[in-house]
Amino acid sequence: MTKTYYIGIDGGGTKTKFDLFDSDKNSIASITMPTIHPAQASFKEVVSVLTDAKEKLLANINDSDYVLKVGAGLGGYGINADYRKKLEDEFSTVFDEFKLYSDAYAAMLGALAGEDGILMIAGTGSIALAKVGDETFRCGGFGYRYGDEGSAYSIGKALISRALKEADGRLDKSIISDLVADYFDNIGINIIATSDFSRDKIAGLAAAASKYVENSESVRDIFLAAAKEISLHIKAIGKNFESGKRVRLSYIGGVFRSEYILECIKEMNQGIELVAPIYPPEKGSILQV
């Protein structure tokens, strides 16, 4: 009897996670490889990564007669048609049968085990996705320049902004001044204000500040503002569900490591059933294969 095996892929901006699943979609083996994001890796580099990962994972299969199916949630597989075509061509060079999705869509499928509901992602950036039957909806996800409200980046940026205001007397001093100074190794507020830090660096400030939420009103206000922005995403995308129906909401991203944020989300969305992610994105990518 011919068996079916699956490779699920979660392709991010810095690394790519591959997971081999058996016919019952139980994980057998996994491997982490370099990024295959179309903006960061050449055609040849991506094909090499895919080929190497395939060979290493298939070494775990003892059957000689089997079918291999691949599902991949990929950063870059979105509205950019050139990126989509590049990724499709790269995958067709290595695999016979595959389905590609955006990384956020695969994450939603995994978090909700393929069922209807909402996934709110709030890490460095932010976006909400919803699955209602065969339809998919999105809210936010417009990037850090004009969007990504409620993200760790937005929290970090707000903390820096508050520290700058405190430095020149527009606001009274709070723990944020010392927090920001310590985080940036006391390089000086003017250097902080004029430096071009990476998004990840600024986003990391949110995690550093989270421990002060309970005893600092100024920090708590910034985290509360982020929770309100996340709640706006949830309420907006929740309009796509039947009125009065209790909707499941799952969540992914470093912002949700804050218990305060989670409690605020529960309080602001009484009709929502908050559930931790059921499966990781790499499994989510094979649920519809």
The CA distance from 272 to 270, in Å, is 6
**Amino acid 249: pLDDT:** 97
Helix 217-238 to helix 152-167 angle (10° resolution) is 140
Provide the residue ranges of all domains of the chain, joining segments of one domain with +. Answer: 3-96, 115-277
pLDDT at 63: 84
As its CATH architecture, domain 115-277 has 2-Layer Sandwich (3.30)
Write out the DSSP string of 137-199.
EEEE---TTT--TTSHHHHHHHHHHHHHHHHTTSS---HHHHHHHHHTTT--HHHHHH----H
Identical fold for domains 3-96 and 115-277, yes or no, is yes
Could you give the CA distance from residue 215 to residue 207 in angstroms, rounded to a whole number?
15
Q: Is the dihedral of CA 102, 107, 113, 117 positive or negative?
A: negative
Among the listed ranges 68-72, 138-142, 234-238, which one has the minimum average pLDDT value? 138-142
Instruction: Write down the pLDDT at residue 144.
Output: 85
Return the CATH superfamily for domain 3-96: ATPase, nucleotide binding domain (3.30.420.40)
pTM to 2 decimals? 0.86
Kindly tell me if the per-residue pLDDT of 79 is higher than 80.
no
pLDDT of residue 244: 81
Share of the chain above pLDDT 90, in %: 85
Q: How much is the pLDDT for 2?
A: 84
Please give the pLDDT value at position 245: 82
Tell whether the model's pLDDT for residue 267 goes beyond 90.
yes
Handedness of CA 89, 93, 99, 101 (dihedral sign): negative
Closest CA to 219 of 178, 185, 186, 250: 178
pLDDT-based confidence at 96, cuts 50/70/90?
Answer: very high
Look at residue 132 and tell me whether its pLDDT is greater than 80: yes
221-232: pLDDT as tens digits: 999 999 999 999
> What pLDDT score does 225 carry?
97
For 83, 244, 275, the CA distances from 272, given in Å and listed in that order, are 35, 10, 9
Tally of CB atoms within 10 A around 37: 21
| Tens-digit pLDDT profile for residues 189-210 | 999 999 999 988 999 999 999 9
Q: Work out the mean pLDDT of the chain and round it to a whole number.
A: 94
- Round to whole Å and give the CA distance between 158 and 143: 16
* Contacts of residue 47, Cβ cutoff 8 Å, sequence gap at least 6: 90, 93, 94
Is the pLDDT at 1 greater than 80? The verdict is no
